[in-house]
């Protein structure tokens, strides 16, 4: 009889107070550039491997694999409220108050954001790249959680491993969009020696959450670009000539 594989390792945030995990790239079955716990079905990885990786992440948090709900992520502010296992959702945010469901976000530089109001029994998850964050995906998740009975002042949020400011170079067009929305957000940009700017995406996400009334926000101190052993990074892969890349998973459950 085959023994069950050990659960994949994951990181947690003290702020959340509900079961969750920011998974690394360790503990899966994918190979090559997707090694090993690739959670993204958009790419050339074997679908059976991705399904097994997602099942391992679900089981690590005590979920039935079929009860892990994900998205076709498109850098939008679209949020779905889910009440049962489902597939085919397009957007960048999920919320639920249904017990036994897990919400899945996949990232490879963008910020995975997990949220919870433990008192109301409401959870949320967001995929926040600069476009989605600037477009309001975090505020949209908070609003969708409010519609289920959460209160912003009670919501705890955690921003998981994302590209750090030291490695995230953007040009004036990105800065212009973000500063055009809120002048004081210029503080998240510093000049880059080679031109353009360093952009602190996690801190920007935290500021957006604070303006939405979320008072308890934790930023996990991990740079996805810098830590190749534990994390996938799209930008790191581009800087090395391109090619396929995996995505790590972030999951929160009721």
Q: What is the pLDDT of residues 52-85, one digit of tens each?
A: 999 999 999 999 999 999 999 999 999 999 999 9
N-term to C-term CA, the chain: 32
Position 2 in a domain? no
pLDDT tens by residue, 198-230: 999 999 999 999 999 999 999 999 999 999 999
Give the CA-trace dihedral at 145, 148, 151, 155, to 10 degrees: -40
Position 4 in a domain? no
Position 181 in a domain? yes
Position 5 in a domain? no
The enclosing domain of 195 has a CATH number of: 3.60.140.10
pLDDT at 1 over 80: no
How many whole angstroms separate alpha carbon 39 and alpha carbon 167?
23
CA 207 to chain centroid, in Å, comes to: 16
Position 205 in a domain? yes
Position 173 in a domain? yes
36 burial type by CB count under 10 A (0-12 exposed, 13-18 middle, 19+ buried): middle
Bridge partners of 252, per DSSP, are: 20, 103
pLDDT at 166 over 60: yes
Position 1 in a domain? no
pLDDT of residue 152: 98
Position 207 in a domain? yes
pLDDT band at 2 (very low <50, low <70, confident <90, very high): low
pLDDT of residue 24: 98
Host domain of residue 54: 10-247
Closest residue by Cα to residue 201 from 216, 190, 215, 213: 190
| Residue in the structure block whose two tokens are 């934790």 | 218
Domain count, the chain: 1
């Amino acid at each position: 009889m085959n023994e069950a594989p050990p659960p994949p390792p994951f990181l947690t945030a003290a702020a959340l107070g509900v079961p969750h995990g920011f998974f690394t790239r360790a503990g899966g079955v994918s190979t090559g550039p997707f090694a090993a716990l690739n959670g993204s079905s958009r790419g050339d990885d074997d679908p059976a491997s991705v399904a097994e990786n997602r099942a391992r992440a679900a089981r690590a948090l005590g979920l039935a694999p079929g009860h892990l709900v994900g998205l076709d992520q498109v850098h939008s502010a679209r949020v779905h409220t889910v009440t049962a296992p489902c597939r085919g959702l397009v957007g960048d945010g999920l919320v639920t108050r249904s017990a036994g469901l897990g919400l899945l976000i996949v990232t490879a530089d963008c910020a995975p954001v997990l949220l919870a109001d433990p008192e109301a029994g409401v959870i949320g998850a967001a995929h926040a790249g600069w476009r989605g964050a600037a477009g309001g995906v975090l505020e949209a998740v908070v609003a969708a959680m409010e519609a289920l009975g959460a209160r912003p002042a009670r919501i705890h949020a955690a921003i998981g491993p994302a590209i750090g400011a030291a490695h995230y170079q953007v040009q004036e067009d990105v800065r212009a969009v973000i500063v055009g929305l809120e002048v004081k957000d210029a503080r998240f940009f510093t000049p880059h020696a080679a031109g353009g700017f360093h952009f602190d995406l996690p801190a920007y996400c935290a500021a957006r959450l604070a303006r939405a009334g979320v008072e308890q926000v934790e930023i996990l101190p991990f740079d996805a670009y810098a830590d190749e052993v534990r994390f996938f990074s799209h930008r790191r892969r581009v800087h090395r000539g391109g090619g396929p890349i995996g995505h790590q998973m972030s999951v929160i459950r009721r």
